[in-house]
Amino acid sequence: MSLGPIGTGEETPPRPAQFNARRNDPRRAHWFSIAGWQSIERLTPAYAHLMSPRPAPEPIAPGQESVWDYPRPPAIRASDEEIIVILGGVQICETRTSWRILETSHPPTYYLPGSAFIEGSLRPAKGSSFCEWKGQASYLDVIGGGKIAPRAAWYYPHPNAPYSVLVDHVALYAGAMDSCVVDGERVVPQPGGFYGGWITSNISGPFKGGPGTLGW
């Protein structure tokens, strides 16, 4: 299924090329770095309880990846892992073709092809959000077995390069599903409920999302 029609009326049009040129202007980056640090200095006393220094990475076992080796801006990698999603006791998605977004301190976010979802399992939801790397996101309710998980999925109608391959791909909050399974292993949701990363045994942390990790 194509996700283009699903988001009609919710997403914003692609940002013009001149916007991206301004965004990448080194003078702008310098100004924002100064303004950003000034803002942090003003806000730090009020939010100190939410922030902590970058932690020491956990030891990496054979076959593991450390989220502290992931880059920022995030990398995008193709995956052939078997992914199964169940909601309301119904298998709503199965695929071996997905994309992983790998960003410093975050467990991978999986983007699954919209065509892998059963008919009627995704419907448009209100609202949108903006990622500085990928662009404007639209939200979806996820439906399975008579159960509705509101705004439990999101996608990018017009993702920025180099993330353009995410068109017609959907990411899910694992905690809102009955289960999300990667190569036979049930996923643990990223802590905190805000980010949508999936934790499996081949990923080592610590992971951003819980209390005190705002500055990671």
pLDDT in tens, 160-171: 999 999 999 999
pLDDT, one tens digit per residue, over 90-147 is 999 999 999 999 999 999 999 999 999 999 999 999 999 999 999 999 999 999 999 9
- Which domains are delineated in the chain? 5-204 (2.170.150.40)
Q: pTM of this prediction? A: 0.80
pLDDT at 54: 85
pLDDT at 168: 98
- DSSP result, 155-194: E-SSPPTT-GGGTTEEEE-GGGSSEEEETTEEPEEPTTSS
pLDDT, one tens digit per residue, over 36-49 is 444 444 545 555 55
- The single residue listed with the structure tokens 């801006």 is 73
